Amino acid sequence: MIVVTGGAGFIGSNFVLDWCAGTDEPVVNLDKLTYAGNLANLAALEGDARHEFVRGDIGDFELVRTLLRTHRPRAVLNFAAESHVDRSIHGPGDFIQTNIVGTFQLLEAVREYWGMLEGEDKAAFRFLHVSTDEVYGSLEADDPAFRETDRYAPNSPYSASKAASDHLVRAYCHTYGLPVLTTNCSNNYGPYHFPEKLIPLCIHNALAGKPLPIYGDGRQVRDWLYVKDHCAAIRRVLEAGRVGEVYNVGGWNEKANLDVVHTLCAILDALRPRADGRSYREQIAFVTDRPGHDRRYAIDAGKLERELGWKPAETFETGIEKTVRWYLDHQDWVQGVTSGAYRDWTLRQYGA
């Protein structure tokens, strides 16, 4: 069996759902259930004996130690993280606590557990750490895409905290021999994405007749990765990745934020037209840019394709249409997560 941390969040819950759809191997899911962790994401697994949910913090050494000794997993996959740049600017303390201190405590518990294993169990064990392309910093328009050998240059409290966690994971491999794997992914999108990030926020606001807030001039470029492609990449890295290696996971889809929103508007115009017949593009509103906003990210996922044979199954065009359709078909889920606390956050961040 495996242990997944952060498995009620966006990427983690998609991974758990896909894992249970593709294998009978049990998974223990540890999640603190902060604002972005949602058990409704996992409703399809209710009553499924292969999935055990435990509410708890990766920073709780004794809890993690007990889980590992009780369930004796062959792998631990760490998705748990505070991940929103804007929130890290307003309140960096939570990011330091979860992403750095929490990862340290998790590594300590895993190191102790791994040290108790013997023979084939010890040789086969893996700790897979899920991270972000933001640790590499920002690119100029003509710079090559991020490679695994690029130096780290994080520019926000969020990316700095993730960079620190990556360094801890690497150090535990080098110093203690812990068999680790690290993945650094580009911007994910897809089902169960909490509606504070660009794509789900704009879908939600468009349908509600609210402005679609775009930072600055909207020309910031990101590489977009459909979340289920990301999950497939993680499964492949867990299966065949080389211990101690880093694998960049990207969608080969560089898009400016404004172009992404234009695409969303076009799909919504076709699938859920406004009552007045006008385009959702009329709701676009440019807002003051984020402090220190990185201009461009891009991922070179060539190593993952060369070594492990993975490449994304979705283009941006196919993935984004699936995403919009999912949100249109799951408005009950959207209503469930857009609580008063969420509305207060978006008002503070983007204004009226």
Catalytic residues: 133-134, 158
**Single-letter residue type at 140:** E
Strand partners, 76: 3, 127
Residues near 160 by Cβ (< 8 Å), separated by ≥ 6? 154
Place of tokens 């518990």: 109
Cα dihedral angle (213, 218, 222, 228), rounded to 10 degrees? 30
Helix (H, G, I), strand (E, B) or coil at 103: helix
Query: Are 243 and 275 a contacting pair, CB within 8 Å?
Result: no
What b/e sequence results for 265-284 when a residue is b if at least 16 CB atoms lie within 10 Å of its CB, and e otherwise?
bebbbeeeeeeeeeebeebb
Query: Are 58 and 103 a contacting pair, CB within 8 Å?
Result: yes
Query: Are 185 and 132 a contacting pair, CB within 8 Å?
Result: yes
**Longest Cα pair distance anywhere in the chain, in angstroms?**
68
Query: Are 180 and 244 a contacting pair, CB within 8 Å?
Result: yes
Burial of 152 (0-12, 13-18, 19+ CB in 10 A): middle
What is the C-alpha to C-alpha distance for residues 170 and 179, in angstroms, rounded to an integer? 10
Closest CA to 173 of 246, 276, 252: 246
Sign, CA torsion 172/82/85/315: positive
Indicate the DSSP class of residue 39. Answer: G
**Single-letter residue type at 188:** N
